[in-house]
Amino acid sequence: MNVFRVLIAQTRANFQWYFLRDGEMIFWSLAIPVFFLFIFSYALGGGNTKQTSTFLIPGLIGAQVLSSGFWGVGAMLATFREKKLLRRIYLTPIPPWTFFASLVLYRMSLLALQAMVLAFFGSLVFHVRFAGDPGSIALILLLGAATFVSLGTVIGAVVRSTESANNIASVLTVPLAFLSDAYIPIDRFPAAIGNTLRLLPSTQFIDAFRGISMHGASLASYGPWIGILCLWTIAGTAVSARYFRWV
Amino acid sequence: MSESAIAVTDLVKRFGEVVAVDGISFDVAPGTIFGLLGRNGAGKTTTLETCIGLTAPTSGQVRVLGLDPTRRRDFDRLKRKIGVQLQATSLPEKAKASEILELYAAYYGVPARTKELAERVGLEDKLDRFVGKMSGGEQQRLSLALALLHDPEVVFLDEPTAGMDTFGRRILWGEVERLKAEGKTLVLTTHYIEEAERLCDEICIVKGGRVVARDTAPALVAKYGGDAVVDFAARGFAIDASLERVGRWNQKGDRWQVFVHGEPGHALAAIVSHANALGIVIDDLDLHRPGLEDAFIAITGEALDEDLGAIARPAA
Report the residue of B52, B87, B90 to disrupt the A interface, i.e. the one with the largest count of A CBs within 10 Å.
B90
Amino acid at B204: C
8 A C-beta contact, residue A213 and residue A140: yes
Provide the 8-state DSSP code for B191: S
CATH-assigned architecture of domain B223-308 = 2-Layer Sandwich (3.30)
The answer to whether B136 contacts chain A (CB < 8 Å) is no
8 A C-beta contact, residue B64 and residue B5: yes
The interface predicted TM-score of the complex, written ipTM, equals: 0.90
Residue A73 pLDDT grade (very low, low, confident, very high; cuts 50, 70, 90): very high
Mean pLDDT of the region B221-248 = 89
Q: What is the pLDDT of residue B298?
A: 85
Q: What is the pLDDT of residue A43?
A: 86
Q: What is the pLDDT of residue B306?
A: 61
Mean pLDDT of the region B76-100 = 94
Spatial separation of the C-alpha atoms in residues B83 and B75, rounded to whole Å: 13
Quick: pLDDT tens for B40-50: 889 999 999 99
Domain ranges of chain A: 3-243
- Is residue A82 predicted with pLDDT exceeding 70? yes
- Is residue B312 predicted with pLDDT exceeding 50? no
**CATH number, span B6-215:** 3.40.50.300
A1 → closest Cβ in B88, B91, B109 = B109
- The set of long-range contacts for B266-273, using a CB threshold of 8 Å and a minimum separation of 24, is B267/B228, B267/B230, B268/B230, B270/B242, B270/B243, B270/B246, B271/B230, B271/B232, B271/B243, B271/B246
CB atoms within 10 A of CB A175: 10
Report chain A residues whose CB lies below 8 A from the CB of B53: 91
8 A C-beta contact, residue B82 and residue B153: yes
Residue A89 pLDDT grade (very low, low, confident, very high; cuts 50, 70, 90): very high
Provide the 8-state DSSP code for B21: E
The answer to whether A247 contacts chain B (CB < 8 Å) is yes
- Is residue B205 predicted with pLDDT exceeding 70? yes
Quick: pLDDT tens for A186-239: 989 999 999 999 999 999 999 999 999 999 999 999 999 999 999 999 999 999
Specify the range with the lowest mean pLDDT, choosing from B22-31, B52-61, B180-189, B276-285.
B276-285
Closest to A13 measured CA to CA, from A110, A102, A109, A114: A102
What is the nearest CA distance from B138 to chain A, expressed in angstroms?
Answer: 17
Report the residue of B107, B108, B139 to disrupt the A interface, i.e. the one with the largest count of A CBs within 10 Å.
B107
Report chain B residues whose CB lies below 8 A from the CB of A247: 54-55
Q: Do A90 and B91 touch (CB under 8 A)?
A: no
Spatial separation of the C-alpha atoms in residues B141 and B172, rounded to whole Å: 8
Q: What is the pLDDT of residue B89?
A: 81
Quick: pLDDT tens for A118-151: 999 999 999 999 999 999 999 999 999 999 999 9
Q: Do A1 and B108 touch (CB under 8 A)?
A: yes
pTM value?
0.89
The answer to whether A215 contacts chain B (CB < 8 Å) is no
A17 → closest Cβ in B53, B92, B109 = B92
What is the nearest CA distance from B162 to chain A, expressed in angstroms?
Answer: 17
The answer to whether A3 contacts chain B (CB < 8 Å) is no
8 A C-beta contact, residue A41 and residue A56: yes
Sheet of B18-28, strand order: B18-28, B6-15, B59-64
Amino acid at A50: K
Helix ranges (H only) for chain A are: 3-14, 23-26, 32-44, 49-67, 76-82, 85-90, 96-126, 134-158, 162-179, 191-197, 201-214, 223-243
Identify which has the larger pLDDT, A137 or B87: A137
Domain ranges of chain B: 6-215, 223-308
